[in-house]
């Protein structure tokens, strides 16, 4: 490599890193001001198995340590939407995905919430109750609870038929 090309490459790299440092400082300042680079798509794009998309997406929102930089704000809104706004102590909240086969597990060390997502699948008999018993046996208390099967949300899946276009046959000469 000639000296001129090496000097040019060095200059370009120095300029790049200078700009990157400026960008990085600017980004950190924006995060401190409440702006962020959170995108729900980042939590699901790498997934190969669509069954896990819902858990990953919900987890990315309700996890206080998530890349949204909003702490427990989304989890608080989520619990409010469920009708239990003050059930958990959000300052000590931990959210786990796939804890002991539980899709989503939220705990503050005293109380807990178990969420089992179902996509095109029926509830297994007493599955949610078994998860509650498992977590309770580990020392979590259940001061207030609901019968999981009674309150499971069942949404009928509407299937549509998509007509396939036939591929044109290749013509050989």
* pLDDT block averages, 10 residues each, the chain of length 173: 63 71 81 71 53 78 88 91 89 90 87 78 73 78 51 44 40 45
The answer to whether the predicted template modeling score (pTM) of the entire model surpasses 0.75 is no
- Domain assignments of the chain as residue spans, ordered by start: 40-144
For 47-84, write each residue's pLDDT tens digit.
Answer: 445 456 778 888 988 999 988 888 999 999 988 888 88
Buried b (16+ CB within 10 A) or exposed e, 84-123: eeebbebeebebebebeebbbbbbbeebbbbbbebeeeee
Longest dimension (CA), the chain: 78
Tell me what pLDDT residue 149 has.
Answer: 52
Strand partners, 96: 105
């Amino acid at each position: 490599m000639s000296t001129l090309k090496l000097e040019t490459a060095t200059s370009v790299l120095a300029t790049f890193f200078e700009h990157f440092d400026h960008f990085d400082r600017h980004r950190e300042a924006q995060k401190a001001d409440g702006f962020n680079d959170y995108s729900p798509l980042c939590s699901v794009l790498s997934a190969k198995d669509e069954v896990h998309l819902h858990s990953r997406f919900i987890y990315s929102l309700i996890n206080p340590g998530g890349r949204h930089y909003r702490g427990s704000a989304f989890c608080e809104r989520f619990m409010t939407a469920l009708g239990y706004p003050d059930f958990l102590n959000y300052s000590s909240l931990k959210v786990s995905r796939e804890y002991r086969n539980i899709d989503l597990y939220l705990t503050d060390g005293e109380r807990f919430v178990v969420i089992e997502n179902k996509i095109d699948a029926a509830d297994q008999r007493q599955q949610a109750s078994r998860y509650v018993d498992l977590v309770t046996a580990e020392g979590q208390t259940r001061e207030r609870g609901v019968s999981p099967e009674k309150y499971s949300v069942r949404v009928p899946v509407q299937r549509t038929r998509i007509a396939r276009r036939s591929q044109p046959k290749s013509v050989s000469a």
